[in-house]
Structure 1
Amino acid sequence: MKTLDVTLSAAEIQFLGELLQIELIVGMKDSHEHLSQEERETSFREARDALIRKQILFERGTYEIERSHAVLIDAMRPQFTYCRVQHIAEGKQSVIHYHFTPILAIKRTELPNSNLHRIQLVGTPAEALEEIKLSFSMPQVDTADTPLSFTLEEEDFKRLTGPDKYAALDEINPSFGDEAIVSLEAFTASITTPLTAGQVERIVWDEKESKWHDQILHFIIGKAELWRVIPIMGERVQMKITKIGKSDLEQSIDELGLFSSVTSGAN
């Protein structure tokens, strides 16, 4: 089954989704949102014809979807777990979407400068989880040898992770105690500019509560260190920054429960 791989436009995915009675594909915008009714109908006809040409859809009185492609689209139901994996490196950002069912995982990648989406079966949930971990170029540090942790105002965090980080550090230092200054300087020295960072977000729909639950793991990759960043909500948003090890990060990704179905409970 791992050979399943197809490239479709947003309109084609939505057409197949409607045939499979999927009302919403999480993490994907409605390509017809701002179209008139006439434009919407034209788009659907074009999507239908393209799918028939690709032999993904068959016209036999009623439309029938080729089974392997139905498996790919069916995995995008909101009842399953959705995961957005974000990479930031060299000043550029990329996002990969994963859809987890209890038995398989689908990866959806938006192709640059187009409305095309590559949809792949990446195997079991465990295999997809391993792929997510390996997608980040993490320093090979197993544990955080020195327990460093400190809190920054959100605006100071943005300045400290920007191009003028050392100038920002001089201004921020006086308001910190000795221990926090050591942590702050270690963090500033380890991160590179442009920033290298990653984010893994788990989103599930809770049918009982009729609402979305999401968990976000955000981390920064230094020259030889990893730093977990947790927003603390209050009157002013603060960022708690903690030095962690590679195994700590992998455990945190595991703890997101990416292939737990909503029936097992959303956190």
Structure 2
Amino acid sequence: MKTLDVTLSGAEIQFLGELLQIELIVGMKDPHEHLSQQEREASFLEARDSLIEKQILFERDTYEIERSYAVLIDAMRPQFTYCRVQHIAQRKQSITHYHFTPILAIKRTELPDTNLHRIQLVGTPAEALEEIKRSFSMPQDDAADTPVSFTLEEADFRRLTGPDKHAALEGIKSSYGNEAIVGLEAFTASITTPLTAGQVERIVWDEKESKWHDRILHFIIGKAELWKVSPIMGEREQMKITRIGKSELERSIDELGLFSTVTSGAH
């Protein structure tokens, strides 16, 4: 079953989800959102016929789903942990979706310029976690020589990570003290434009509070360094920038708790 790999349309996934009584496929838009009732019905019939042809669905009145594919779709229930992994390179982004159950993890990748989704069983939660870590091309240095951490106004962060970082640096230096300027200069020298960055977001449904809880880890991959970016809650929008080592980044991903089970009041 570890080699299970299938490509389905959004309508096919939704059809299977409804058969499994899943009201919401986590992290996926409704493929019928802007369709009329007649168009919806036609899409569902097309999805049904396609699934029967692929031998994922049996041609019976009950529309029984072939078990291994039912496992794939069942993992997308809100009761399980959902993770969105975002890669940014050359100002382009790609997003991979992971669905964690207590015993297995599913990866869902949206194929570019199509409505198709590749769904793969990637093994145990621990194996999926290692795959997420390996998916980022990170500098091999385990730790920075000296700690560097400083806080930027959010608008200044956007300017500094824009097309002309050197001009932005000169323009904002006067607003910060000497200690922050040291960090600003090290950060500017390290990062490249366009940026190479990553984001790992964990989202779980809290049944007791009836709302979603999420944790986000965002980092920028420099020439030979890693920079963790943490929004600061307060009256002003600010970003804390910290130079970290590869092992610290991996610990931060571990601390997101991607394959912890959803418990009452989980945060």
Q: What TM-score, normalized by structure 1, do the two folds share? A: 0.98
Deviations 1:175-202 (A, max 9, x none): 2111111110000000001100000000
Which residue does the alignment assign to 2:27?
27
Does residue 175 of structure 2 align to residue 175 of structure 1?
yes
1:108 shift after superposition: 0.1
SS at match of 1:57: coil
Corresponding residue pairs, total: 267
Deviation at 1:236, TM superposition (A): 2.4
1:54-80 Cα distance to aligned partner (Å, 9 max, x none): 000012221000011001000000000
Distance 1:16 1:158 in 2: 42
Alignment gaps of 5+ in structure 1: none
Letter of the 2:92 counterpart:
K
- % identical aligned pairs: 86
- The alpha carbon displacement at 1:235 in A equals 2.8
Corresponding residue of 2:84: 84
Deviation at 1:265, TM superposition (A): 5.4
Distance 1:265 1:4, change over 3 A: farther
RMSD of the TM alignment (CA)? 0.9
Deviation by residue 1:218-260 (Cα, 9 ceiling, x = unmatched): 0000001101001113232111101111000000000000000
CA distance in 1, matches of 2:91, 2:250: 24
Instruction: Quote the offset at 1:144 in angstroms.
Output: 2.2
Residue equivalent to 1:5 = 5
Please name the residue that 1:44 is paired with.
44
* Structure-to-structure mapping, 1:1-267, within 5 angstroms: 1-263=1-263, 266-267=266-267
Q: 1:265 to 1:256 in 2, by over 3 A?
A: farther
CA contact (8 A) 2:8 2:116 kept: yes
Supply the AA of the counterpart residue of 1:147: P
The answer (yes or no) to whether the contact 2:207–2:264 under 8 Å persists in 1 is no
Q: Which runs of 5+ in 2 are unaligned?
A: none
The aligned amino acid for 1:157 is F
Letter of the structure 1 residue corresponding to residue 16 of structure 2: L
User: Which 10-residue stretch deviates more, 227-236 or 11-20?
Assistant: 227-236
CA distance in 2, matches of 1:82, 1:33: 22
- Looking at structure 1, the residues matched to 175 and 265 of structure 2 have their Cα atoms a distance apart, in angstroms, of 43
Cα contact 2:85–2:201 (8 A) shared by 1: yes
Q: Secondary structure at the match of 2:96?
A: strand
**d(CA) in 1 for partners of 2:141, 2:175:** 31
- CA distance change for structure 1 residues 219 and 157 in 2, over 3 Å: closer, same or farther? same
